[in-house]
Structure 1
Amino acid sequence: MHGRSALSVWERSSTARVVPAARPRKLAKVPFVELADGRLQGVVSSGSDIGRVYVSSVAAGSYTFACGTNNNRPCGGANGYFCNHLRALVGEAVLQYGVERVARYLKVEAGTAEPDATALLAAMTATRPAQGDRSASAQVFSRFLRHLSYLELPADTRPLPEMQWFPTTRAAA
């Protein structure tokens, strides 16, 4: 067991710092994006149906990709190629996390002095990645719905016991 003085401030508190977004982004097209479980994954809104979303992911290193609707139907545009949902996901991830962090996480060598989302996509698709299974889609969509449920809570200043683990952007005292 560490002594109290050996623990950092964040280890002694119930909050952790959140890395702010690299640049502001609009949430209408890609409301949920994360670098987790060895993948870039998220939820992308349909361009044609307001009630439909796609759960999309790209695996780090292999760039194996998956895209399908929230009710587990395959994406018609992801037939061996990155569809527009995957391209939007990569673009929004770059806005959220910054191109360097996304490239490092996905293990992409962009090959340009100043890479951007387009360079990352070009490098990944040049390897001719395979289309993978959508087995993680349910977990990703479930996390997205959980995040949405917090938006529906009434405004209150009292702490929520289940949110004590939730990261905050303010530094712990």
Structure 2
Amino acid sequence: MSDWEKSSTARVLPPARPRKLAKVPFVELADGRLQGVVSSGSDIGRVYVSSVEAGSYTFACSTNNNRPCGGARGMFCNHILAMINEAVLQYGAARVARYLKVEPEELTGQDIAGEMSRGRPTQGDSGAAATVFSQFLRHLAYLELAPTTVPLPEMQWFPPTRAVV
């Protein structure tokens, strides 16, 4: 057993490749879904909350005001495609494909989306969107905190970092 497996902290994996946060500021593999927040191309005050369920590929996309995305009618909209591509940058294609149960694992973001083409849009379930958007807002709140070296209780699960002197 390695040292990090014996510790009480989680190992933080660096992104597979650097990504720009302007279009997809939040993406995660959680709750059996690939989920994230995608910026609107036409309105700076609007974001879309998108998700794709692992295995069934059931998908949903709606605005932060819970209005359905006009492009997600029977197939993935551009917001979901952007989210998949950013997830591949963040986690790597193999990990995203494994999590979503897409075969084979050596795919690009577009290949993963193509393999999931049998997915169907969800009908009226805004619970997932509310959860994803809530997590995104919680992450944004950390950006507003003043820089400090005092530990934050809700961040105690992060591994300690060494101060650069």
TM-score (norm 1): 0.85
2:120 aligned partner: 130
Structure 2: state its 5+ residue gaps. none
Matches within 5 A, 1:1-173: 9=4, 11-13=6-8, 15-110=9-104, 114-125=106-117, 127=118, 129-132=119-122, 133-167=125-159
**Structure of greater Rg:** 1
Q: Would the alpha carbon gap of residues 9 and 89 (structure 1) be closer, same or farther in structure 2, given more than 3 Å must change?
A: closer
Q: Which has the higher contact order (CA 8 A, sep 6+)?
A: 1
Q: CA RMSD in A?
A: 2.1
Q: Would the alpha carbon gap of residues 41 and 140 (structure 1) be closer, same or farther in structure 2, given more than 3 Å must change?
A: same
What is the rounded CA distance, in whole Å, between the counterparts of 1:168 and 1:62 in structure 2?
38
What is the rounded CA distance, in whole Å, between the counterparts of 1:109 and 1:12 in structure 2?
34
Please give the secondary structure, in 1, of the residue aligned with 2:127: coil
Q: Which whole-Å deviations, capped at 9, do the CAs of 1:3-27 have from their partners, x for residues lacking one?
A: xxx99655544x3211110000000
Q: Which whole-Å deviations, capped at 9, do the CAs of 1:116-139 have from their partners, x for residues lacking one?
A: 1111111111x2x11013321111
What is the rounded CA distance, in whole Å, between the counterparts of 2:76 and 2:50 in structure 1?
10
Structure 1: state its 5+ residue gaps. 1-5
TM-score (norm 2): 0.89
Q: Would the alpha carbon gap of residues 155 and 169 (structure 1) be closer, same or farther in structure 2, given more than 3 Å must change?
A: closer
Q: How many residues align?
A: 160
